[in-house]
Amino acid sequence: MTYKVAIVDAASDEDVRSAVYSAIDLADGFFPRGNSRVVIKPNLCSARMPPESGGTTRVSIVDAVVSYINEHNSRCEITVVEGDSDRSADEAFKRLGYTELEKKYDNVRLVNLSRDRTVKLVPERAGKLSAVEIPETLLFMDYFVSIANLKRHVNERMTGVWKNQWGCLPHKSVRVRLHPFLSEALFDVNSMFWPDLCIVDGITGLEGPGPLEGTPVHVGKILCGSDPVAVDVVAARLVGESPRKVPHLNYALKRLHRRPEDVSTVGCGYEAAGLKFITRRQYLLYRLSMRLRKMAGYVENAGYVFSISAYALRAVGFSDLAGGKYYSLAKAFRIGKDLLFKVEAAERTFG
């Protein structure tokens, strides 16, 4: 199967509206039905980084997407969301111009996911996450639009649409704790919040350490597609990176049995922008730090397993447990395995 990604030139902010429209049309359009609830997730990882820095999504791109939706169906309820990062998402909305969208459109509202009501769920098929805290706004959406930026990332080499969903987890402390398990956790999060429309703001790229530091570089492209992995494959190539060398992207390709060669492009041609990165030695140190933190996470989980086992033995006794009065040995083993190897994408309820 071939996955299509649109590439459109956008030399400046004046070109954004027409470029976004063209990109969406080339990617076969986006037409929410009826009174749908559409959620748009831009990348507003810092209230201190204007779009010209390459670090945050241009409000003009979100504006163009809203306008495109409304031209085809003005009955949609559109919610623009983001979670707290270096500062409050509410501050990012205000400083980066997003509050103007609520004034401009009657059917648009802004939601800080970190302040939204949440529901704690146990995902049935998640490989790494044992529990996930989901904001109510995401729980009841009908369509999901993810708008990312073209950026380098110290731990992952680059970041795009696939990692943009990381901001769907409402608590910053939880996201920080889960960083060592990013590839596996991102796969679970994207499985729950799979975008219907994916856009990359590649007008300005961010080279260097990223995603919060670095040097802006004019790239002048907008990417669009309906598949987040395919869009990120093209984004990686545009950055000048092999998709297979991006840890979380390579993990997703393997889990989905995909090949980068299965992605085709339509629209304008492109050449790798060659966004500079940190040195190989620095990158390896970052990766080593994640590996050590992952090991520490498993050690912490082992501590919980011993603590819970001690409580069980004290409460019901060894003979009842070993005899299978409450759980079969096979089920007890599965519970222990999950406690040891899975992680919670939620605030801790014990410890």
Q: What are phi and psi of 201, to 5 degrees?
A: -80, 95
In a domain, 351, yes or no: no
List the Cα angle 200/89/20 in 5-degree steps: 25
The reply to whether 23 and 125 lie within a common domain is: yes
**Residue where one domain finishes, among candidates 219, 246, 278:** 278
The reply to whether 266 and 297 lie within a common domain is: no
The reply to whether 102 and 224 lie within a common domain is: yes
CATH of the domain at 149: 3.40.50
Find all residues with CB under 8 Å of 334, minimum gap 6, and list them: none
Find all residues with CB under 8 Å of 34, minimum gap 6, and list them: 73, 75
The reply to whether 104 and 183 lie within a common domain is: yes
What's the rounded Cα separation, in Å, for the pair 59 and 96?
Answer: 7
In a domain, 350, yes or no: no
Mean pLDDT split into 10-residue runs, the chain, 351 residues:
95 92 98 96 94 96 98 97 94 96 97 96 90 96 98 97 97 95 97 97 96 96 98 98 97 97 95 96 97 96 88 70 65 84 82 47
| Complete DSSP assignment for 319-344 | HHHHTTSSS-HHHHHHHHHHHHH-EE
The reply to whether 223 and 264 lie within a common domain is: yes
Cβ burial, residue 93 (10 Å; 0-12/13-18/19+):
buried
**Tokens at 270, concatenated:** 């492109």
In a domain, 41, yes or no: yes
List the Cα angle 121/124/129 in 5-degree steps: 65
Cβ burial, residue 79 (10 Å; 0-12/13-18/19+):
buried
**The predicted structure's pLDDT at residue 13:** 83
What's the rounded Cα separation, in Å, for the pair 267 and 27?
Answer: 10
In a domain, 40, yes or no: yes
The reply to whether 132 and 40 lie within a common domain is: yes
The reply to whether 252 and 294 lie within a common domain is: no
β partners of residue 111: 81
The reply to whether 91 and 204 lie within a common domain is: yes
The domain in which residue 312 lies consists of 282-345
